[in-house]
């Protein structure tokens, strides 16, 4: 699996935007970029995913570099409930059989009131 690199930790003030970076320089042309987050003592939850174009949903936006070697998860207005570990994951597609999510250690996001 192609590897991702994320900062270990980040801090942000409440009600401000947060930009969480992810480097994936060995990404292949068919790899999807997925983001999950894990709140303390809970299971991870899906945030967003994309392939080439920027994506928006109710939780966040995903900005993908033109060369696809990096991406940024954007939380537009951070709240205390956004404090979590954020994982950037590559999933090969559309091959059947790529079932697992390969989690690294992620970025621990702290929100300052």
Residues that bind another protein (CB under 8 A): 32, 34, 41-46, 49, 87, 91-106
Residue 8 or 113 having the CB closest to another protein: 8
Strand, helix or coil for residue 14: coil
Least separation, in Å, of the C-beta of 80 and another protein? 20
CA nearest to 109, candidates 51, 55, 26, 36: 36
Say what the alpha-carbon torsion angle 22, 27, 31, 35 is, to the nearest 10 degrees. -10
The span from the CA of 24 to the CA of 21, in Å, is 10
Residue 3 or 77 having the CB closest to another protein: 3
Which class for 103: exposed (0-12), middle (13-18), buried (19 or more C-beta within 10 A)? Answer: middle
Residue 15 or 37 having the CB closest to another protein: 37
Least separation, in Å, of the C-beta of 42 and another protein? 6
Least separation, in Å, of the C-beta of 14 and another protein? 25
Residue 61 or 98 having the CB closest to another protein: 98
Least separation, in Å, of the C-beta of 72 and another protein? 20
């Amino acid at each position: 699996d192609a590897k991702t690199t994320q900062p270990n930790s980040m801090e942000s003030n409440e009600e401000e935007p947060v930009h969480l970076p992810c480097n994936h320089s060995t990404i292949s042309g068919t790899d999807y970029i997925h983001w999950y987050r894990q709140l303390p003592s809970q299971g991870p939850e899906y945030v967003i995913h994309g392939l080439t174009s920027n994506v928006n949903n109710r939780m966040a936006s995903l900005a993908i570099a033109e060369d696809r070697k990096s991406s940024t998860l954007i939380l537009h207005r951070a709240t205390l409930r956004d404090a979590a570990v954020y994982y950037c994951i590559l999933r090969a597609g559309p091959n059947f059989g790529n079932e697992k999510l390969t989690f690294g250690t992620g970025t621990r996001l702290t929100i300052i009131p």
